[in-house]
Amino acid sequence: MAYIKKIVGKNRITFRVGWRDPTGKERIQHFKKKTPAQEWKRKVEYALDTGKYWELIEPPAPAPALAELSLAALAEEYLRTCTREKGYAVKALVLRALLKTTALNGARTAAGITYTDLVHFKTERLNTPATRSGKPRALATWNNELAVISSMFKYAKKAKLIPANPFKEEEAESLKEKHNNARLRFLTEEEVPLFLEACSDHLRPLVETALFTGLRRGELFGLTWDMVRHGKIRLPGWLTKNGEPRTIPINERLLPVFAALRQRHQLKSKYVLCQENGQKVGDIRTAFQGACRRAGIDDFHFHDLRHTFASHLVMKGVPLKVVQVLLGHKDIKTTMRYAHLAPGYLEAGVNCLNDLGASSKISATKMLPNYSSQKERGQSLRPNPLNFIGAEAGT
């Protein structure tokens, strides 16, 4: 939602309209009079609600000829088609960064890109550090970038913006990198209170909600009071990652947290977790990293709060199927990454067959050699494995 703030200066009064664009970036514009400020606020809110934001801010230029369409122009056109999709902000950041590379420079024509260019692009990305510290780019990061580029070219071919898609199915698969995505960092029972105590006042409710519900970052930031009813959080499909609605009961630890938040913010914001001015939560990395540092907790990311929620459920014996539903996993395979944490889960699996065939009169002891009778006959008590060779042939 956009807002208007009256700015009183020494010699004049202006009106500032502020809002966040689809990438999450704070935007402002000043007006000399209140009426045009109100009109602009309405236009921005309508554009954000209808997915036409970039058309309002950056009206599309006349479409260039097919052979002249640059990669930069293709990227902007593609982004306009997915402003309402989940992950739009990530796509925008990825494309704008990738178009600065040598292999896929934004000035190049989209129709001139070949599979060889994609191979060179892969080499360039994997040899370029992901951060200023020089840390190498993770293979998972490369695969995510590849998926965004591939999606853009698929759209371009379908929209007839390019004559051919350089991403043929088998070739696209060859560009992917196999990687181990089994990172599973979670807070221990001893670390949880340390971390909560280290959180600032505005960060702690956010952390507690993530810790006791397992909500993803986007679900937390988009959580509104109309989704909290009768002791349950009911997420609509448009907010969840897999597009399916999900219900999470609010436990006893979280109820007083929500009660305090409702008393504090409900009158000035529709968001459960918001800033002091009622605006939607923005970037919390600095606050989160500060809490980790004060608590002495290393290698811990915000998404690991979701891992903490799931891991402790499994360790306390909650069935994996229940954990799957609470986390909103479409595939049980995703939830199975927590299976090894279940106490005695392998033993429990085989022991459930203990009663299978219990009423049968067949005893396993009847299948063993009768050593006592062999001893009475003076035969060796050691079974001879050769006795079974050729038994069926009568030798």
Q: Which two tokens stand for residue 82?
A: 């997915």
Return the CATH number of the domain spanning residue range 191-348. Answer: 1.10.443.10
Question: pLDDT: is 148 or 67 the higher one?
Answer: 148
Q: What is the pTM of this model?
A: 0.57
Q: For position 302, what pLDDT does the model report?
A: 93
pLDDT in tens, 177-207: 776 656 688 998 899 999 999 999 999 999 9
Q: For position 11, what pLDDT does the model report?
A: 82
Cα of first residue to Cα of last residue in the chain, in angstroms, is 89
Q: For position 372, what pLDDT does the model report?
A: 45
- Rounded mean pLDDT, 207-224: 93
Please report the beta strands in the chain, taking only residues with DSSP state E, as ranges in sequence order.
3-8, 13-20, 26-31, 228-229, 232-235, 246-249
The secondary structure element, H or E, covering residue 144 is: helix 139-158
Question: pLDDT: is 24 or 293 the higher one?
Answer: 293
Q: For position 362, what pLDDT does the model report?
A: 46
Question: pLDDT: is 306 or 178 the higher one?
Answer: 306
- Rounded mean pLDDT, 72-91: 80
- Which pLDDT band, with edges at 50, 70 and 90, does 325 fall under? very high
Q: Do domains 66-175 and 191-348 have the same CATH topology?
A: no
Q: For position 376, what pLDDT does the model report?
A: 47
pLDDT in tens, 250-268: 999 999 999 999 888 777 7
Spatial CB neighbours of 35, under 8 Å, sequence gap ≥ 6: none
pLDDT in tens, 331-369: 888 888 888 777 766 666 566 666 666 665 544 444 445
pLDDT more than 70, % of the chain? 79
- Rounded mean pLDDT, 75-95: 79
- Which pLDDT band, with edges at 50, 70 and 90, does 3 fall under? confident
pLDDT in tens, 369-394: 554 444 444 544 444 433 333 444 44
Strand partners of residue 271: 224
Q: For position 389, what pLDDT does the model report?
A: 38
Q: Cα–Cα distance between 17 and 5 in angstroms, integer?
A: 7
Residue 41 has pLDDT above 70, yes or no: yes
Nearest to 139 by CA among 174, 183, 184, 181: 181
Q: Which two tokens stand for residue 154?
A: 């698929």
- Rounded mean pLDDT, 110-129: 84
| Beta strand 232-235 pairing with 246-249 | antiparallel
The fold for domain 66-175 equals DNA polymerase; domain 1 (1.10.150)
Q: For position 171, what pLDDT does the model report?
A: 66
Q: For position 227, what pLDDT does the model report?
A: 94
Q: For position 220, what pLDDT does the model report?
A: 93
- Which pLDDT band, with edges at 50, 70 and 90, does 93 fall under? confident
- For the chain, domain boundaries: 3-57, 66-175, 191-348
Q: Cα–Cα distance between 264 and 273 in angstroms, integer?
A: 11
- Which pLDDT band, with edges at 50, 70 and 90, does 225 fall under? very high
CB 99 within 8 A of CB 106: yes
